[in-house]
């Protein structure tokens, strides 16, 4: 009797499943990345910028002016790979030349000061161990100033001027995590600006081209 009873219960169970039809799959939460524990970060970096384009002729043969400087970047991680940031940077550089004309020598010197403010985006991909690779791009505004002077046979002249322009940059770098909060990084950055200030030295006009720099950045970051 027990065997017959269990068989009937099993058949009734199968019949109810068949009558009910296929059962819907359980709903699951959308696949979203886990928010970072410390989504905000602050970076301080020093850089050296090799000038790709710089001053036109006008202040002797000063030519290109490389930059040294630093920048601060504050950012927020939207998820482990994507972040938004805001960068403020300052750089300066100078170059001089001596040109001989018979017994006379033309001494020329030009100094460039530049400041930029650029919001941007960064993509980060984790590598082995504590290493990560990142790609970034920033767009914003730039102010550039030229200070120039020249002297020939004790007769000298000087001038300075500044201009605003559109600034842009793109970079690729490596990051190493020393702890959950502290990290260091090194990056190559291509940057440029449309600011073109000009100066007049003794009737000779020196105009800045659209700036192009190849920058090497080294810095530290802190997550909070």
Say yes or no to pLDDT of 86 above 90: yes
The architecture CATH gives domain 39-223: Beta Barrel (2.40)
Q: Is the pTM for the entire model greater than 0.85?
A: no
Half-sphere exposure of 15 (CA within 13 A, CB side): 6
Tell me the percentage of the chain whose pLDDT exceeds 90.
Answer: 50
Say yes or no to pLDDT of 5 above 90: no
SS3 14: helix
**C-alpha separations of 89 from 145, 156, 186, 223 in Å:** 14, 33, 16, 20
Phi-psi region of 186 (alpha: psi -120 to 50; beta: other; left: phi over 0): beta
Query: pLDDT digit string (tens) for 162-201?
Result: 899 999 999 999 999 999 999 999 999 999 999 888 777 7
């Amino acid at each position: 009797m027990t065997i017959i009873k269990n068989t009937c219960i099993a058949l009734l169970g199968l019949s109810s499943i068949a009558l009910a039809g296929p059962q819907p799959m359980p709903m699951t939460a959308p696949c979203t990345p886990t928010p970072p524990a410390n989504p905000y970060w602050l970076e301080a970096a020093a850089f050296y910028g090799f000038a790709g384009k710089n001053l036109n002729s006008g202040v002797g043969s000063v030519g290109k002016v490389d930059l040294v400087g630093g920048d601060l970047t504050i950012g927020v991680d939207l998820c482990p790979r994507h972040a938004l940031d805001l960068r403020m940077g300052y750089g300066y550089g100078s170059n001089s030349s001596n040109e001989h004309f018979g017994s006379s020598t033309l001494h020329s010197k030009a100094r460039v000061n530049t400041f930029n403010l650029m919001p941007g985006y960064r993509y980060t991909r984790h590598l082995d161990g504590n290493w990560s690779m990142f790609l970034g791009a920033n767009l914003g505004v730039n102010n550039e100033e030229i200070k120039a002077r020249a002297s020939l046979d004790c007769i000298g002249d000087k001038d300075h001027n500044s201009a605003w322009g559109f600034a842009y940059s793109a970079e690729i770098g490596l990051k190493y995590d020393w702890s959950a909060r502290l990290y260091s990084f090194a990056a190559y950055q291509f940057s440029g600006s449309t600011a073109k200030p000009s100066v007049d030295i003794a009737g000779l006009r020196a105009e800045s081209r659209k700036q192009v720099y190849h920058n090497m950045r080294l810095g530290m970051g802190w997550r909070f």
